[in-house]
Amino acid sequence: MKSIRRYLVAGILVWAPLAVTYWLLKFAVGIMDRTLKWIPASYQPGYLLQQLFQTAEPVHIPGLGVILALVVLLLTGVLAANFVGRAFVGGWESLMQRIPVVRSIYSAAKNFAEVVFSDSSQSFKNVLLIQYPRKGLYSLAFQTSSELGEVQGRTGEEVVCCFVPTTPNPTSGFIIIVPKKDIMVLDMDVDEALKMIISLGVVVPTWRNDKTGELPLDLPDESA
C-alpha cells in the first residue's frame, strides 16, 4: 500500500502542475482572443480565412488574440514614448484625476505598475529577511522604498520600508519600516521568494552562495 500511495503521489505531482498550467494559459489566451472583437467583422482573421479557404464558418485559430494584444501594447508604448504621446497620456491622467472614486483606483493601479515594472525603481528588487512579528522569528519581505522623508528624519537612523506578504496570497500583506542594521539581504531572487511564499514554505530555493547581498540605499543627506 505504501508503494501504491507513493506512485499515486508521484503521478499527481506530474499531472497537477500540467493541468494548472494548461488551465491558466487557456484562460489567458481566451481573454486575449476577445480583443479580436475590436476589429470590424469583415477584417477579422477568422472571416478573412473563411473567404480564403471557402469554409462554411469563420476559421478560429486560438492564440491570435495574443498577437493582437502584443501589437496593441507595443504601439501604445511607442506612442506614449514620444512627445505627442506623452502630452496625450498627461491629459488623460489629468482627466482621470478629476473623477471621484476612479482617481483613487487609477492612481493606485498606476503606482503599483510603476513600482513592479519600472527598471529604475529599487522596489521589489531585493528579498529581505527581517525579525517579524517579534525578535527571534523571521519573515521574508521585499524592499519597497528607502527614501522615506519625514520617517527617515524623525527616526534618526537609516530605515527601509519593507512589504511582508501573506501566504499563500502574496498580494496582501503588511508594510513594516525596519532599521537597515536589522535587515539581512538574501541571495534568492524575487520570483524564488514568491514561490516559497505561495507554496507555504514547501518549495525552498537552492542557495547559490556566489554573491553577497547588499542593500542599495539612496538616502538624503541629513546634514544638508
Tell me if 59 sits within 8 A of 44, measured CB to CB: no
- Inform me whether the pLDDT recorded for 95 exceeds 80: yes
SS3 annotation, the chain: CHHHHHHHHHHHHHHHHHHHHHHHHHHHHHHHHHHHHHCCHHHCHHHHHHHHHCCCCCCCCCCHHHHHHHHHHHHHHHHHHCHHHHHHHHHHHHHHCCCCCHHHHHHHHHHHHHHHHCCCCCCCCCEEEEECCCCCCEEEEEEEECCCCHHHHHHCCCEEEEEEECCCCCCCEEEEEEEHHHCEECCCCHHHHHHHHHCCCCCCCCCCCCCCCCCCCCCCCCCC
Q: What is the pLDDT of residues 169-195, one digit of tens each?
A: 887 889 999 999 999 999 999 889 989
Tell me which residue of 53, 55, 33, 54 sits closest to 44, measured CA to CA: 33
Question: Can you give the pLDDT at residue 183?
Answer: 94
Tell me which residue of 141, 137, 118 sits closest to 193, measured CA to CA: 141
- Inform me whether the pLDDT recorded for 21 exceeds 80: yes
Question: Can you give the pLDDT at residue 37?
Answer: 78
Count of alpha carbons within 13 angstroms of residue 44, beta-carbon side: 19
Q: Give the number of other Cβ atoms within 10 Å of residue 92's Cβ.
A: 12
Who has greater pLDDT, 123 or 197? 197
Q: What is the pLDDT of residues 148-169, one digit of tens each?
A: 889 888 998 899 999 999 988 8
Confidence band of 211 (pLDDT split at 50, 70, 90) = low
Percent with pLDDT over 70 in the chain: 88
Question: Can you give the pLDDT at residue 121?
Answer: 55
Select the highest-mean-pLDDT range: 4-8, 136-140, 154-158, 208-212.
136-140
Q: Considering only 52-61, 90-99, 110-119, 199-208, which range has the smallest mean pLDDT?
A: 110-119
- Inform me whether the pLDDT recorded for 111 exceeds 80: no
Q: What is the pLDDT of residues 42-83, one digit of tens each?
A: 777 888 888 888 888 877 777 777 888 888 888 888 888 887
- Inform me whether the pLDDT recorded for 214 exceeds 60: no
CA of 111: how far to CAs of 101, 122, 210, in Å? 16, 14, 34
Mean pLDDT confidence for 22-44: 80
Torsions phi, psi for 141 (to 5 deg): -150, 165
Mean pLDDT confidence for 128-142: 94
Question: Can you give the pLDDT at residue 120?
Answer: 52
